[in-house]
Amino acid sequence: MEDWKMKTTDMKGIYSALLVSFDENGNVNEQGTREIIRHNIDKMKVDGLYVGGSTGENFMLSTDEKKRIFEIAKDEAKDEIKLIAQVGSVNLKEAVELAKFTTDLGYDAISAVTPFYYKFDFEEIKHYYNTIINSVDNRLIIYSIPFLTGVNMSLDQFAELFENEKIIGVKFTAADFYLLERMRKAFPNKLIFAGFDEMMLPATVLGVDGAIGSTFNVNGVRARQIFELAQAGKIEEAREIQHVTNDLITDILDNGLYHTIKAMLEEEGVHAGLCREPMKKTTPEMAARAKEIHKKYF
Superfamily of domain 12-233: Aldolase class I (3.20.20.70)
- Specify the pLDDT at position 118: 93
For the chain, give the percent of residues with pLDDT over 90: 94
Q: Is 163 annotated as a binding residue?
A: no
SS3 helix, strand, coil % of the chain, rounded to 5?
Answer: 50, 15, 35
pTM of the model: 0.97
- The active-site residue, picked from 74, 82, 166, 171, is 171
Q: Is the dihedral of CA 216, 219, 220, 223 positive or negative?
A: negative
In whole numbers, what is the pLDDT of the chain averaged over residues? Answer: 96
Mean pLDDT of 7-18: 91
- Specify the pLDDT at position 3: 54
Q: Is 33 annotated as a binding residue?
A: no
Residue 91: partners with Cβ closer than 8 Å, 6 or more residues away: none
Q: Is 54 annotated as a binding residue?
A: yes
Q: What H or E segment, with its residue span, contains residue 97?
A: helix 92-105
- Specify the pLDDT at position 9: 80
Mean pLDDT of 119-130: 97
Measured CA to CA, the distance from residue 32 to residue 23 in angstroms comes to 9
Confidence band (pLDDT; 50, 70, 90) for 1? very low
- Does 287 have pLDDT greater than 70? yes
Q: Is 2 annotated as a binding residue?
A: no
Report domain extents, the chain.
12-233
Look at 9-13, 147-151, 172-176 and tell me which has the smallest mean pLDDT. Answer: 147-151
Mean pLDDT of 282-292: 98
- Specify the pLDDT at position 7: 58
- The active-site residue, picked from 143, 166, 190, 258, is 143
Residue 143 appears among annotated catalytic residues? yes
Measured CA to CA, the distance from residue 257 to residue 96 in angstroms comes to 30
pLDDT, tens digit, 9 for 90 and up, residues 77-89: 999 999 999 999 9
Measured CA to CA, the distance from residue 260 to residue 251 in angstroms comes to 9
- Specify the pLDDT at position 150: 74
Q: Is 47 annotated as a binding residue?
A: no
- Does 91 have pLDDT greater than 60? yes
- Does 6 have pLDDT greater than 70? no
Look at 3-7, 62-66, 181-185, 233-237 and tell me which has the smallest mean pLDDT. Answer: 3-7
Q: Is 214 annotated as a binding residue?
A: yes
- Specify the pLDDT at position 8: 76
Mean pLDDT of 115-127: 95
Measured CA to CA, the distance from residue 264 to residue 206 in angstroms comes to 31
